[in-house]
Amino acid sequence: MKYCPNCGEQVDPKAVICPHCGVPLPSSSSSSTPATTTGDTGSAWWGVLGFFIPVAGLVLYIVWHNSEPKNAKSAGIGALIQVGVWIAFVIFCFFIGLAAGLSD
């Protein structure tokens, strides 16, 4: 299926004008180009955002996993790294506390 770039609704692949909002649609020859030309660079900054705000990284991954897969992957990896760091920190603190309790 084809989507309207203005309203985002599904339209017939042969449609010239969106039946929902009336905006002219790109020709079928230009619709064969990938939709990822909107800036899907997979920038490391999305990973940094996902690292410092893991919930945002997860949300961006869920929202972008089809439309912008490179950016989604960067944000998701940043969030996963942060979660891994927190798990390692909790395990480390647990063993430090356990060792301190055994030395008393």
Q: For 26-59, what is each residue's pLDDT tens digit?
A: 876 544 445 444 688 888 999 999 999 999 999 9
pLDDT at residue 36 in the model: 44
Q: Give yes or no for a contact between 36 and 25, defined as CB atoms under 8 angstroms apart.
A: no
Among the ranges given (16-25, 28-37, 60-69), the one the predictor scored with the smallest mean pLDDT: 28-37
Q: Which residue has the higher pLDDT, 75 or 5?
A: 75
Position with higher pLDDT, 93 vs 99: 93
- Name residues whose C-beta falls within 8 Å of residue 20's C-beta, 6 or more positions apart in sequence: 4, 7, 9, 11
pLDDT at 82 over 50: yes
Q: Quick check: 39 and 70 in contact, CB under 8 A?
A: no
CA-nearest of 63, 61, 93 to 79 is 61
Q: Which among 83, 94, 32, 33 is positioned nearest to 55, based on CA atoms?
A: 83
The percentage of the chain sitting over the pLDDT mark of 70, rounded to a whole number, equals: 88
